[in-house]
């Protein structure tokens, strides 16, 4: 059995704040990635295409946004620079 030292209220609050800021930064990075993806030529072409041809591009954009968000949280919340 190992003894664990309980965190102080200040340390707990700092951890919660750090986690919150990481998630916010990841969300902003994902939003930026979404805007970049919407500006690409492939997206502009797909926007005018019939619905069945849009789905793969929309899915790829969503996956890219999720990957950027995950990368930002694992790096400590630094925004991704493109």
The 3-state DSSP class for residue 40 equals: coil
CB of 30 closer than 8 Å to CB of 66: yes
The arithmetic mean of pLDDT across residues 30-59, rounded, is 72
Kindly state the percentage of the chain with pLDDT values over 70: 74
Q: What Å distances lie between residue 66 and 3, 18, 28, 82, CA to CA? A: 38, 20, 11, 15
Query: Minimal CA–CA distance to 75: which of 22, 16, 19, 34?
Result: 22
Model confidence at 77: pLDDT above 70: no
**CA 32/CA 52 separation, integer angstroms:** 26
What's residue 48's pLDDT?
72
Would you place residue 82 in the very low, low, confident or very high pLDDT band (cuts 50, 70, 90)? very low
Rg of the chain in Å (alpha carbons): 19
Compute the average pLDDT of residues 18-43: 81
Task: Give the least confident one: 1-5, 20-24, 42-46.
Answer: 42-46
């Amino acid at each position: 059995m190992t003894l664990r030292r309980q965190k102080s209220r200040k340390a707990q609050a700092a951890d919660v704040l750090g986690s919150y800021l990481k998630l916010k930064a990841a969300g902003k990075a994902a939003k930026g990635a979404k805007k970049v993806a919407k500006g690409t030529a492939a997206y502009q072409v797909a926007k005018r295409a019939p619905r069945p041809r849009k789905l793969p591009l929309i899915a790829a954009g969503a996956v890219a946004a999720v990957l950027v968000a995950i990368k930002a949280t694992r790096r400590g919340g630094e925004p991704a620079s493109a």
